[in-house]
Structure 1
Amino acid sequence: MAAEIIEFPERGRDRLVSSIARLETIVREVERIVADEPEAGVDRLLAIMEHMGDRLVDLATLVLDEESKLQARKAFISLSDKIAETREAFEQVGDRTHT
């Protein structure tokens, strides 16, 4: 995902429906990459996972109570941290294979 398109809610559509549609778009992108571009690399898939996490947090704010929203945010912060750690690990492995 080299560039992100700014999406505005469609008029007359429920925000929940719009959020789910955006999430489905991300899932289709992951499926396409895995099927058509397996060499795309872990970094690209991790970026998509981050984007999906952001979309899930947006969706959670629409359907969860305040306590659950806070738990969801904490979970996705943890996910982002794990994604960053995974990137670092792959970069270190890549550095070692190039030396």
Structure 2
Amino acid sequence: MAAEIIAFPEPDRGDRLVSSIARLEAVLRDVERVGAGDPGPGLDQMLAAMERMSDQLVDLACLLLDEDAKLQAQSAFRCLSDKIAETRDTFDQLGGRSYP
């Protein structure tokens, strides 16, 4: 009996890239919408959008960059996430508001 080699299709990186860019564009529209109004009351929305944007940028980095660059991008976005959390804490202390 001869062994038959089965060729599985490789996931199309182009589809993942287009999908990731579309999600990033949606986040940017949210930022523009919130930024068009008074950004003070929408601070939590802006911070949440920044977190979603960083997640999308990490996804893009994983598709486009080599391993070393991916690790650097992930580290940078972890720092950004920490800064966002600090900003929320400071805002909560100043205004007594809590956010998810």
Preserved CA contact (<8 Å) 2:34 2:45: no
User: Does 1 or 2 have the higher relative contact order (CA < 8 Å, sep 6+)?
Assistant: 1
Give the deviation of 1:38 after TM superposition. Answer: 4.0
**Structure 1 CA distance for aligned equivalents of residues 56 and 16 of structure 2:** 12
TM-score, length basis structure 2: 0.76
**Structure 2 CA distance for aligned equivalents of residues 90 and 70 of structure 1:** 30
- Structure with higher Rg: it is 2
**Structure 2 CA distance for aligned equivalents of residues 36 and 92 of structure 1:** 23
Consecutive unaligned residues of structure 2, counting only runs of 5 or more, are 1-11
Q: Which residue of 2 aligns with 1:21?
A: 22
- Identity between Structure 1 and Structure 2 (%): 62
Alignment CA distance shift 1:19-1:76 (3 Å): same
Q: Deviations over 1:43-92 (max 9, x none)?
A: 11101100111111011000000000000000000000000000011111
Q: Would you say how many aligned residue pairs link Structure 1 and Structure 2?
A: 84
Preserved CA contact (<8 Å) 1:19 1:59: yes
Give the letter aligned to residue 91 of structure 2. F
Alignment CA distance shift 1:86-1:38 (3 Å): closer
Consecutive unaligned residues of structure 1, counting only runs of 5 or more, are 1-10
Give the letter aligned to residue 84 of structure 2. I
Preserved CA contact (<8 Å) 2:17 2:60: yes
Q: Does 1:62 align with 2:63?
A: yes
TM-score, length basis structure 1: 0.77
**Structure 2 CA distance for aligned equivalents of residues 94 and 38 of structure 1:** 14
SS of the residue corresponding to residue 14 of structure 1 reads helix
Preserved CA contact (<8 Å) 1:22 1:55: yes
Give the deviation of 1:41 after TM superposition. Answer: 2.1
